[in-house]
């Protein structure tokens, strides 16, 4: 029995590849996704990598699916889906 479905996005999907934060976000998100994958495996959950779905939709792209407010990097809306997200 599957307990949960865990979706994860690699860092470069959060930020358009040309965004100044893309390289750092990629490293941090990959480390976090390893944790998610480990937890999913340990609990009988399914880990799903949705990076391809978000390709071209990161912060800085023409049609981002991820919120980021550069004037307020601590805004709670940051790194959460926009209302245009359709998976």
Distance (Å, rounded) from C-alpha 9 to C-alpha 3? 20
State the chain's mean pLDDT as an integer: 79
Domain region containing 10: 1-87
What global pTM score does this model have? 0.62
The model's pLDDT over 28-39, given as tens digits with 9 standing for 90+, comes to: 888 888 888 888
Which residues are within 8 A (CB) of 67 and not within 5 positions of it... i.e. 6 or more apart?
A: 59, 75, 77, 78, 79, 80, 81, 82
Contact 2, 8 (CB under 8 A): no
Which residues are within 8 A (CB) of 72 and not within 5 positions of it... i.e. 6 or more apart?
A: 78
How many distinct structural domains can be found in the chain? 1
């Amino acid at each position: 029995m599957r307990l949960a479905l865990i979706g994860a996005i690699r860092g470069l999907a959060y930020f358009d590849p040309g965004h100044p934060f893309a390289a750092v976000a990629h490293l941090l998100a990959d480390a976090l996704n390893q944790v998610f994958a480990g937890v999913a495996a340990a609990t009988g959950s399914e880990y799903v990598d949705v990076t391809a779905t978000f390709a071209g939709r990161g912060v800085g792209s023409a049609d981002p699916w991820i919120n980021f407010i550069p004037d307020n990097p601590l805004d709670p809306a940051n790194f959460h889906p926009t209302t245009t997200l359709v998976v």
